[in-house]
Amino acid sequence: MISYTDTGAIPGITAAGVNREFIKYTPAADTEFLYYGFCKCINNVPITPEGNPTPAIITRAALRLADIPFLVVDAGSKIKPSIPYISFGIDPGHNIESGRAVDATDVKMAFEYGSILGKQLGKSCDLLVLGESIPGGTTTTLGVLHALGIDAKYKVSSSMQTNPHRLKNNIVKHGIQKSRIAFGELRNKPLEAVACLGDPMMPSVAGISEGVLSVGGKVLLAGGTQMAAVLGILKSLGLKMKEVCIGTSVYVTDDHSSNLAGLINSISTEVPVFAADLRMEKSIIRGLEAFARGFVKDGVGAGGASIAAMLKSNGRINGSMLLKTIEEEYEGVLHGKSH
């Protein structure tokens, strides 16, 4: 799922993109990398200012290792990728400081199209793994959870080593002032909450999840604290959570600057959180070892795809094997597969 919110372009909010100009290319570039091993819309693989690569490197390694098929959904990305993708036909999201984050008709359509797609995919696989690439997604999560009556302050994660909680809290505060939504005021109107303080990814992933669950399927929400927003929406809609789980990396669950488990627990005690240990601290490649030092951590469904690879292979694929393949992907990027 690739998406965009102007919130992600606020300076200091995300590590996605070397500079602000690149942020809007990151989701498209991530999905091109998944299919091709290089990017088409930009010259290099997305990388943070510190030189740490996109988590799509992990995702690609996991999907290839376990031969897992995948499709890409565009739900309001600003730059369209040069791949076949499923279009939801919606616009990018606005800066949530405006209090009008996503057009209400787009929120509705995203959920409805998601539901249709989820029904088809739910009939076609045992477990649907849903990942995302939307820079700024933890800040919009903070906003939506406020409207739904879930306190996520200082609990959301960050793609940066130093979590800019105060900046995020301030952005959300501005959005609340503009939209005049009190804490929990929209606890029964999750799509309105998204329209005020969310982003286009949320109703899209929530819709797909609803569709999968409605045909008896299972969902793994592959991501860090952003997926708390999706879970909050599903709960608000009264959906049964028995067949839903969260999958991420240990770099999110071990992070002391956020609290994924606490956050998920405050939404539903039924939903387990699984974390893949990718042994990044052992990597000889500094850009990968950085994940273990709190950079990037997860994204593009990296942790969830790693778990799916372990599940599909009945454990034959483990963290060490994944790390080796991730390092190979990284070497491939360095040695000109990326051009």
Which residues of the chain form contacts with a second copy (CB under 8 A)?
35, 67-71, 73-74, 80, 82-89, 113-114, 116-117, 119-125
Which of 1, 13, 325, 290 lies closest to 142 in space, CA to CA? 13
Region label for 99, one of left (φ > 0), alpha (ψ between -120 and 50) or beta (otherwise): left
Cα gap 301→54, rounded to integer Å: 11
Closest CB to a second copy among 74 and 329? 74
In order of 139, 204, 267, 275, the CA distances from 272 in angstroms are 23, 22, 12, 10
Three-state secondary-structure class, residue 122: helix
Q: How far is the CB of 235 from a second copy (least distance, A)?
A: 24
Would you say 147 and 196 are in contact if contact means Cβ atoms under 8 Å apart?
yes
Cα gap 176→221, rounded to integer Å: 27
Place of tokens 């797909």: 208
Phi, psi at 229, each rounded to 5°: -65, -45
**What ranges in 125-259 are assigned the alpha helix state H?**
137-148, 165-179, 190-197, 201-214, 226-236, 250-253
Cα gap 46→316, rounded to integer Å: 30
Three-state secondary-structure class, residue 279: coil
In order of 99, 107, 108, 121, 148, the CA distances from 103 in angstroms are 11, 6, 9, 26, 18
Place of tokens 């405050």: 266
Closest CB to a second copy among 121 and 195? 121
Which of 209, 221, 196 lies closest to 107 in space, CA to CA? 196
